[in-house]
Amino acid sequence: MAVKFPVKVTTTSQSRLSSVDFNNIPFGKVISDHMFVADFDGKQWTDLRIEPFANLNISPANLALHYGQSIFEGMKATKVHGEPVLFRPEMHARRFNVSAERMCMPQIPEELFVQALKMLVDLDRNWIPAGDDHALYIRPLMFATDEYFGVHTSENYRFLVFTGPVGPYYPKPIKLWVEEVFTRAAQGGAGEAKCAGNYGASLLPAQRAKAAGYDQVMWMDAVEKKYVQEVGTMNLFFVIDGKVVTPATTGTILRGVTRDSFTTLLKEWGYTVEDRLLSIAEIADAYWRGTLQECFGAGTAAVVSHVSEITWRDRKLELPPVDETHRPVGTRLKKHINQLRMGVQPDVHGWLQTCENSGVDMFMEQEVGMVA
């Protein structure tokens, strides 16, 4: 990779790596040593730097805190033959820019986005955990930094990337509640953007579902409350009578990178994949006829998360046990993607990118103690 953007690299002299129990990594709690930071000054991205992970100094009048100009991505890095690899970073960069456009935020050059990830992952490569369902999670985000409390578009922004080793997001099959009171997004809303507000608005319905014994909600469309959308943390796939069906991306759900990868693989493996409107009534009908074979969520964090139960009003749809016999589609996808990310499967699509020549050594300047 040709390194295009100069980045000031300041490394920590007090790595926290030795304090991490890699045999027990809860999702989202462990954060690696460094972060990438860049600032948008109204015209361009400036002051590109990698520095020790530390708290930010933010004004209480920060626009993002009040009006939600805040977007993010979720990605993963693993190791192939000991070398860090990223999964489809350009596709994530493009989606990040789609979110930025929807939230009236500046575009970030794709090459800068990818260079930032590669340098950071290269530097913190020892934080990449080994093993199935384990990876270094990468969290790029952008938020407004203007100090102003009128409802307004910010002129200044910060782009930041940090990482952390993770295990499975859902360690066991999940139970879903079909949500017909709250909705996630309507046509013309921001449902396709990976913006903070979408997740904030999902917390209350998720909390209620958890209190009632479910793991998550299955969102329905906002108008008829009839068509399946997604599960907030992941897209959904159903296997009905041997065909794979995934709800269409009609502007209200996230265009998942994992969703796209799975659709590609399934078609190559000879499955019929239908990307279309899918009603909850059709799913229940398939269940009663005995043709609902599988349901699983697909996402970067979730990878493949099998669904064990779907509750729609007073009807409970219980899905088959999770093994290769009963869930051939979901289990094959999960195995394949894990093996691909560890170099056991050949990368025939060119989805993996190494961090070779990331440039991080070239820009290394000094070490500082931890600030956080």
Closest CA to 76 of 97, 52, 92, 64: 92
State which residue, 169 or 287, has the beta carbon closest to ligand COI.
169
108, 190, 301, 355: residue in contact with ligand COI (rule CB under 6 A): 301
State which residue, 169 or 227, has the beta carbon closest to ligand COI.
169
Residues 240-279, interacting with ligand COI (CB under 6 A): none
Please provide the size of the chain in residues: 372
Tell the burial category of 150 from Cβ atoms under 10 Å away from its Cβ (0-12, 13-18, 19+): exposed
**330 in contact with ligand COI (CB under 6 A):** no
State which residue, 11 or 258, has the beta carbon closest to ligand COI.
258
Torsion-angle region of 23 (φ positive above 0: left; ψ -120 to 50: alpha; else: beta): alpha
Window of 16-24, 149-157, 266-274, 295-303 that interacts with ligand COI by CB under 6 A: 295-303
**300 in contact with ligand COI (CB under 6 A):** yes
Window of 223-231, 299-307, 325-333, 350-358 that interacts with ligand COI by CB under 6 A: 299-307
State in angstroms the smallest separation of the CB of 302 from ligand COI.
6
Window of 175-183, 264-272, 300-308, 309-317 that interacts with ligand COI by CB under 6 A: 300-308
Cα–Cα separations (whole angstroms), residue 302 to 63, 94, 117: 31, 21, 20
**78 in contact with ligand COI (CB under 6 A):** no
At 66 the three-state DSSP class reads helix
CB contact at 8 A, 341 and 347: no
Closest CA to 39 of 159, 211, 162: 159
Window of 123-131, 219-227, 298-306, 320-328 that interacts with ligand COI by CB under 6 A: 298-306
Per-residue contact string for residues 124-163; x = within reach of ligand COI by CB under 6 A:
----------------------------------------
Closest CA to 361 of 123, 138, 124, 127: 123
State which residue, 99 or 358, has the beta carbon closest to ligand COI.
99
**Half-sphere CA count of 130, side-chain side, radius 13 A:** 5
Per-residue contact string for residues 225-244; x = within reach of ligand COI by CB under 6 A:
--------x-----------
The C-alpha atoms of residue 202 and residue 224 are separated, in whole angstroms, by 19
CB contact at 8 A, 127 and 33: yes
State which residue, 52 or 299, has the beta carbon closest to ligand COI.
299
Helices 257-268 and 89-102 sit at what angle, rounded to 10 degrees?
A: 130
Binding site for ligand COI (CB under 6 A): 74, 233, 299-302
